A and B are shown apart, each in its own frame.
Chain A
Amino acid sequence: GENVEQHPSTLSVQEGDSAVIKCTYSDSASNYFPWYKQELGKGPQLIIDIRSNVGEKKDQRIAVTLNKTAKHFSLHITETQPEDSAVYFCAASLSDKLIFGTGTRLQVFP
């Protein structure tokens, strides 16, 4: 079955700097790759997703890139702000079931 690895587990940046989180997946048939943000005490919330027919997608300060050959995808956050501090999860899916990475705790210091 699918296996998703996520790095780093923690990431600290200064406000205004960029943050990059990387994930790899094992099943080459996976075709959907969402990213979720989880704030303290809340459930995860979708922030951006990408499908396997696209190499890059942007939404304001966040972007996701996908390398199907290498089976890895990354989340890029530019001009980080303190409110970006949260746990971020990547996931991969072939069908309706998502397989999640282990999460990255991002801290943005003012």
Chain B
Amino acid sequence: GAGVSQSPSNKVTEKGKDVELRCDPISGHTALYWYRQSLGQGLEFLIYFQGNSAPDKSGLPSDRFSAERTGGSVSTLTIQRTQQEDSAVYLCASSSPGTSYNEQFFGPGTRLTVL
């Protein structure tokens, strides 16, 4: 089966514009995570969805960031009024209770550049 996919792979936008980043998790995976990876930095947790539970939004850096997960599958991360400091690679991961404990499978990421 296919792994985690993300689109677009690259996104260039102008400061102040809104962007939407998409994540398709592995089929059947109930947990979905978004991370931000700035140049040369580690993975910064943003938000976590698990089944039908309320998402853990504790990592979202500001109210300009939001995410949805429709039907327990595809997720969209939205950044409103983008700023230059939002430039980073946004990674999505999914996991399932049936796999190795907490193993997260990552997509290739979306590289966002805010001019």
- The chain A residues found within 8 Å of chain B, CB to CB, are 6, 32, 34, 36, 41-46, 49, 51, 89, 93, 96-103
Considering the chains assembled together, what is the distance between the CA atoms of A93 and B101 in angstroms? Answer: 10
- CB distance A49 to B109 under 8 Å? no
Q: Is the CB of B108 within 8 A of A41?
A: yes
The answer on a CB contact under 8 Å between B4 and A98 is: no
Which residue numbers of B lie inside 8 Å of A, CB to CB?
Answer: 4, 31, 33, 35, 40-43, 45, 48, 50, 56, 91, 93, 95, 100-109
B31 to A43, Cβ gap below 8 A? no
- Contact check, A43 vs B100: say whether CB atoms are below 8 A apart: no
Closest to A4 in B: B42
The answer to whether A49 touches B42 (Cβ under 8 A) is no
A87 CA / B66 CA spacing, docked (Å): 28
Most chain B beta-carbon neighbours within 10 Å: one of A36, A97, A100: A97
Q: Which of B31, B45, B102, B106 contacts A44 (CB 8 A)?
A: B106
Main SS of chain A's interface residues? strand
**Residues of chain A within 8 A of B106, CB atoms compared:** 36, 43-45
CA distance A93 to B103 in the complex (A): 11
Interchain CA distance A36-B37 in the complex, whole Å: 14
Q: Which residue of chain B lies nearest to A10 when distances are taken between CB atoms in the complex?
A: B40
Q: Which chain B residues border A45 with CB–CB below 8 Å?
A: 106
Tell me how far the C-beta of A75 lies from the nearest C-beta in chain B, rounded to whole angstroms: 15
The 8 Å CB contact of B45, one of A6, A46, A97, is: A97
Q: 27 A-B residue contacts at CB 8 Å?
A: A6-B42, A32-B102, A34-B103, A41-B108, A43-B4, A43-B107, A43-B108, A44-B43, A44-B91, A45-B106, A46-B103, A49-B100, A49-B101, A49-B103, A93-B102, A96-B48, A96-B50, A96-B95, A96-B102, A97-B48, A98-B45, A99-B45, A100-B35, A100-B42, A101-B42, A102-B41, A103-B40
